[in-house]
Structures are given as structure tokens and as C-alpha cells.
Amino acid sequence: MFSRTIFSERLKRLIQGSGMTYAELAEILHLSTAQISDMANGKAGTSLERLYQLCRQFQISADYFLGLTDEPRPLDGGGGPRRAGGSG
């Protein structure tokens, strides 16, 4: 069963570990800072599209966000993380 708590804790850990701010991630994902904060604090979930974007940004498998594995396995294939204000 999906746990919003696991998702939010892992999102928060990845954001902090990257040195990125909520505002920077929000800009990359075209969301508000409040939306990122709500996801990181377990007040809101996410869509499949956003989950995909988060996986691409942090270069990890969706299995980690969904609680199917405790190891943040890297994504297979290209498409590195995007940067705020960039096109990548």
C-alpha cells in the first residue's frame, strides 16, 4: 500500500541532500513553493507526471519514492537532472 509518509520523507531527504531549496525545485517542476512544501510535509501527494519529473530530477527509480525499495536505485538511461532556469 502506498504511504504518503514514506513519499514525503524521501522527497524531503532528497531535496536536502541535493542542496536545493524548495523554491528551486518548484521552479524546475513549474509548481509553487507551497506545493513542494506540502508534498515534502505529507500534506499533498503527487501526480504520475510529477513523480516522473521528480525521478528524473533526482535520478532515482520511482520504486524508492513509492516505498517499494529502501535503496534509491539510479535511473537507467539518459536525462540528467534539470536546473532552475535551464532547458534540460
Q: Alpha-carbon distance 86 to 22, whole Å?
A: 17
Q: DSSP letter for 50, please.
A: H
Q: Alpha-carbon distance 16 to 4, whole Å?
A: 18
Specify the number of domains making up the chain: 1
This prediction has a pTM of 0.82
CATH code for the domain of 45: 1.10.260.40
Q: Which range of residues forms the domain containing residue 49?
A: 4-66
Is the backbone of residue 77 left (phi > 0), alpha (psi -120 to 50) or beta? left
pLDDT at residue 34 in the model: 98
How does pLDDT run across 28-71, given as a tens digit for each residue? 999 999 999 999 999 999 999 999 999 999 999 999 999 999 98
Structural domain contains residue 71:
no
